[in-house]
Structures are given as C-alpha cells and as structure tokens.
Amino acid sequence: MIANSVLAHVTANAIVLFARLLTAVRAIWDGVEPIPSKRVYFANHTSNGDFVLIWAVLPPYMRRRTRPVAGSDYWLTSKLKTFIGCEVFNAVLIDRNPETRTDDPVTQMAEALDSGSSLILFPEGTRNMSDASLLPFKSGLYHLAQQRTDVDLIPVWIENLNRVMPKGEILPIPLICTVRFGEALRLETNENKDAFLDRTHAALLALKESGDAP
C-alpha cells in the first residue's frame, strides 16, 4: 500500500512536469483567486489532456484535493489506466452508459464535494471536434449546482491544447498553452435549467474572448 502510494506520487509529479515542459502552460486567475476552497472547475473540452493541464497548473495544496470527473469506460480498461485514473488522479469515475450504470453520476460528484474535494468537469459531455468554439452543455452541471448550492462554479478556458494533442496524432506538438480561470458562479434563486446552462455557457465563451482581446 505504501509502495503504491509512493509510486502514485512520483507518477503525478512526472505528469505535471511533462505537461509543463511540453506546453509551457501558464495559469491566469481572472476575477478569482487560487484558494483551497471546494470548487467545481468547468471547462471546454477539445483534447484528452484537458483535465491534466488544469490539474497541473493548480498549486500543489489545491491539486491534492482536486479530482477530475471521467468515464469509467475509458479509465478501467487496463491495469495501467486504472492505476493512473484511480491512484494518481483519484478521479471520480462515472459510467456514461445509462443502461449499465448502478450509481447516479450527480450523486457521485456531490459526495466527492462533501468529502472536501474540488472537481474538474466538462459540461459539453464529449470532446468538441466541431468548428464551434463550444458545444451546448449537458444538464449535469445544473443538477450538481442544484444539489450543492454553496459550492462555487469556476469557468476555465483552455487555450491551444487541441493543437498540442490533435486527434489521431501519436506525438504531441510543443506549443504554449494558457489556462484561464474566471469569476465564480452559483445557481441563482428560481433559475431554471435552460437559463442556468445558457449563463454558464456564456461565461465560458466570455472567458475565451477576454483571452483573445488584444
């Protein structure tokens, strides 16, 4: 058990170092500070490395308590992936197939927050391979915000990682990346699902545009 924990710690540090060397990533905290409170970081999704980059730019004291939300159908398919997903990232693994799942994904995320963790999730629900800047959001973020109204929701825009790790390529391309954290949001009183998803979607796009501005 101790050996497993040490290996996970070493692997985590190696992943962070590799991500930083490959992308020279910088974090921009725009309207929010890096403080160790429970949060849900919701981000655009264009690469398999998205949550790794967010995780890598968090200060160590925050990284240790921040868990990505990811599909069990991917992370439980081999011993190596299981070790990385469970031991290194301590991911909240959800079954994305409604027909086979036995646990409610929103309940899983809420329980992780209750344990003191922060979360990284991608409300588009799938990797964006379209020409649109951002796909419509699935309802999970809204239902989680309903269940935990006291938790800050932090929009995060990841810039350039889709060019570092383009789909279908084996080797990554070194490029400078930016992870921009925006002002915290919460579900407003009597705000319905569509209004909430529109507002959070717009907040993420606004964060992108603020980074594009000269």
Residue 203 clears pLDDT 60, i.e. is over it: yes
Mean pLDDT (the chain, rounded): 89
Per-residue model confidence (pLDDT) at position 176: 75
117-158 confidence digits (pLDDT tens): 999 999 998 888 888 899 999 999 999 999 999 999 999 999
Question: All domains of the chain, ordered by start, with CATH?
Answer: 2-212 (3.40.1130.10)
Specify whether the CB–CB gap between 193 and 139 falls below 8 A: yes
Q: What is the pTM of this model?
A: 0.91
How far is 65 from 113, CA to CA, in rounded Å? 10
**Contact (CB, 8 A) for 43 and 182:** no
Average confidence (pLDDT) over 68-95: 93
Pick from 5, 35, 46: nearest CA to 129: 46
Q: What are 156-178's pLDDT values in tens digits?
A: 999 875 555 555 554 555 567 88
Sheet holding 178-181, edge to edge: 26-29, 178-181, 152-159, 39-43, 118-121, 66-71, 92-94
C-alpha neighbours within 13 Å on the C-beta side of residue 69: 32
* DSSP code of residue 141: H
Which of 61-75, 101-115, 123-137, 160-174 bottoms out in mean pLDDT, i.e. has the lowest?
160-174
